Chain A
Amino acid sequence: MLDHVSVIDLDEMGNSPSVRLHEVSLALAAGEWLNVVGVNGCGKSTLARLLAGLLPANLSGEMRRGFAGNGVSPIVLQQPKAQLFGETPREEVIFALEWKGIVKERIADLAEDALNKVGLLALADEPWTRLSGGQQQLAAFAASMACDPLLLILDEVTSMLDESNRELVLGTARSLHKRGTAILWITQRLDELEPDARVVAIEGGRVIYDGDCRGFLYGVPVPGETELPSSPCLRSGLRLPYLASMAIELRRLGKWKDPLPMTTQEWGKVLGDVGDAEAKIAKS
């Protein structure tokens, strides 16, 4: 969808430009789940607004909205408070539907449907003070989903949430994705990444990695190359978690080979496998 797009920020005097996005080329397919990672201020949010169809000033390059259509795609942001305009989830969805100009007769049904999709039907008429931060985010999802957008942009929606609310929000986003909505999931938390999902890493306004999440943590091994791959995660400036750091060291020591473990199940299996191998050696 993006082809060599740059966004340049001009300072007060109108010169010495600082670049927010630099020559970014990116394609997003309908119904795809795309993770975007990077440190604060790397240009993730600029990219999010761009992909939503909110065009900033000083944009160069070409952009085609493709499957997402010509309108604006809904964005959900970190802070639930800044994006809720009603007093209850149902009011929120109705507010969104009214502004979309949906005919009066359909609004009640569509609102029920949107609330059901995010699992908030039972809490539809509760005021915000009785909902957790995660549930408030789900209400913002519901308002965004009310008109069946083809693309939903979620900009660090879990960063202000505790663990259980984070799982709730992430799980709901995944179920919306299963129903066919393309999701742009912007995050700083690497434990939200699934090994085979696609991730784009941004550093200083440039895309420095576009591939699966395992490759992002551990680097992509090149066949026939003896030198070990470097971790795009480290290159992007993010902190490598304990287990990933340990796996990379084990590979450096020559004990492990790619693919390195990433999920809980894979780590369990690695421990089990080593055990089995040892057991076999002991037997023979």
Chain B
Amino acid sequence: MGDGDVQGKGLRLEPGTITVLLGPNGAGKTTLLEKIAGLREPENIQVLYGTDWLWKKGSLGRWQLNEEALLQYSYCSQSPEDGLFARSVRDELDYSLRPYALSEQERAERRDVALAAVGWDSSWETRDPYLMSGGERRRAALASVFATPAAWLLLDEPTAGLDGSGHERIADHLKQLRAEGRGIVLVSHDSDWAIPLADRILLWSADGSARLCGRDELLAHPEWLEQTGMTIPNWLRIAHLLGQSGVSPEKGWNPQLAAAEWDSISGMEFQMDKRSSGAEIVGKEAIKRIAKEKMHRLAGFDPRAVWLAYLLVSTGLFFLRDWVSMLVGAVVVAGLLIAGRISLRKWQGLIVNYAIFSIVTSTIFAWGASSGGGFEWEAFAGTLFPFARTMLILLLGLAIPLVMSPLSLRRSLEQLTTFKGKTPQGIQRFILTVTLMMRFVPVLLELWGRFAKIFLARGKTRARNPVAYGRKLRDVAIPFLLALFRLGDEVALALESRGVGVNPHPTRSVRLKWRMRDYGFTIGAIVLAVGLWGFAHR
């Protein structure tokens, strides 16, 4: 097998070692680990597993992940149990093993070893992770990480939230894997658990500079942590003092053995860690003002005017009947987006997927429409047309949440549905639900991205054919939906505990005002809509 090599920094990690990655807040330890695993753009880092580059130039000259390199590691994300989706532990382990061409016997052996590593016997294979407690789910997820024969293990906070015996069990297994010649890269905030376990420490600064040192070197030079931008934990200061007075590192790393040597450091100066945890931090943080972003120019209009304008222009777009007027419509939409300085970058994925979906559907239709098995251009264009028209309306619609906050949206909707100063409760609830959903769209996109990463790390495939897409959809959607339910639970709890929905008649502190400019805005939209209608019926 190979060894991992983070090029550009010229860092070389050896197989058969445990490397603990340490860095200050914001240095991006998780980001680095994801880059090593190919789960995000490598930017300035090149990674080499043995002789396999992680990223290779494909036939079209685009950088592509090298599947050979992906097979070289097993990756454990933070809270890995959230990524479980199979109905039994055995299926879960087999899923991680699938990319590796193994015989059934080899798979069975690996499953047994992995289960033993988390303290389970083979009777757990048939258990359903969905019905397990949080701690058991973590064990199942760790077992599926340990199951693969990959040469490298990349672990991000594997022990967060685990009990003491869980820490011990994982430490024991990591030592065993090291003895087998596997390489381990570990991120953990439990420094007094992780550092004594390590062979090497990778100190990663916020500016991207790095230093690789031996564990015992760090014991002799704890100030390196400060140079990297971290504080030296008190336990390490005391272990350092013991080391300075001649106590061997083996004893120093172990608190029980170190205790026997306590007398040797009596009277030594102990530089205290003078971090404060008081209220004054609040003031300090508040002073850090950030340059104000200019309000979006559409935010100056009454949200109701924006909505009305959207409805009018969309209606105008609906009248488009032929490709020439569609072109004009596209120019109008593009013009509006440019005039409003709205970037739809955030929705790129959605837009691209919609476009692919439209073209694929139209193509299928075009093949199916002809009796002779040929391709019917007319059928293709005919099917694509309504898709394209909807796309234009979609593009405008997607712009609205970018320029209006859900709160102002809620206000405008509530005010539109108010009779004699009161909004009917059913409508009020409906509006609250809709606007909360809008608020959570970015959260959901992020959540999806997270499970897509876990899918890549476990599935080890970058295939782009329809079958692979279908598989990805299934394997990402299940953990995504489960996470969604948990999120919904938390949202409901947070809302309920703050009394939202308890009071039938909440206050409206802000009343929207319809001003001259809103008339102008709406009239402009009417002109556009009529213009589009007129052009379509020319």
Contacts and interface: CB of A to CB of B under 8 A. Distances in A.
A279 B266 CA distance: 10
B265 interface: yes
A279 B238 contact: no
B234 interface: yes
Interface stretch (A58-66, A87-95, A213-221): A87-95
B467 interface: no
B123 interface: no
Given A103-B507, A119-B285, A162-B25, 20 more contacts: A41-B134, A72-B502, A77-B493, A91-B407, A96-B498, A98-B509, A99-B499, A99-B502, A100-B503, A101-B505, A162-B26, A171-B282, A172-B279, A174-B279, A175-B278, A237-B163, A239-B167, A249-B260, A264-B272, A275-B268
Interface string A98-112: 111111100110000
A272 B241 CA distance: 13
A147 B193 CA distance: 42
B58 interface: no
B238 A87 contact: no
B494 A271 contact: no
Interface string B493-526: 1111111111101111110000000000000000
Interface in A58-92: 71-77, 79, 81-83, 85-87, 91
Nearest to B493: A75
A53 to B, nearest CB: 8
Contact of B490 (A82, A167, A265, A276): A82
A264 B407 CA distance: 46
Given A87-B406, A91-B405, A242 B282 contact: no
B275 interface: yes
A232 B497 CA distance: 32
23 contacts: A41-B134, A75-B493, A77-B490, A82-B490, A83-B491, A98-B506, A100-B506, A101-B506, A104-B508, A123-B289, A147-B499, A153-B497, A164-B25, A172-B282, A238-B164, A246-B255, A250-B262, A253-B259, A255-B259, A267-B234, A268-B270, A274-B267, A279-B267
A147 to B, nearest CB: 8
B67 interface: no
A201 interface: no
B499 A242 contact: no
A25 interface: no
B238 A245 contact: no
A10 interface: no
B443 A81 contact: yes
A162 B160 CA distance: 13
Q: How large is the interface on B (under 10, 10 to 19, 20 to 34, 35 or more residues)?
A: 35 or more
A-B complex: 9 closest residue pairs judged by Cβ atoms: A275-B267, A119-B282, A249-B259, A83-B494, A162-B25, A274-B266, A242-B192, A239-B164, A242-B235
Interface string B270-284: 101101111111110
B266 A271 contact: yes
A148 interface: no
A240 interface: yes
A40 B258 CA distance: 30
A126 B282 CA distance: 16
B161 interface: yes
Interface in B256-315: 256, 258-260, 262-263, 265-270, 272-273, 275-283, 285-290, 293
B223 interface: no
B447 to A, nearest CB: 9
A97 interface: yes
B98 to A, nearest CB: 29
Interface string B352-396: 000000000000000000000000000000000000000000000
A3 interface: no
Contacts of A168: 281-282, 285
Interface in B224-249: 231, 234-235, 238-239, 241
A186 interface: no
Contacts of B279: 119, 171-172, 174-175, 178
Given A75-B493, A83-B491, A243 B268 contact: no
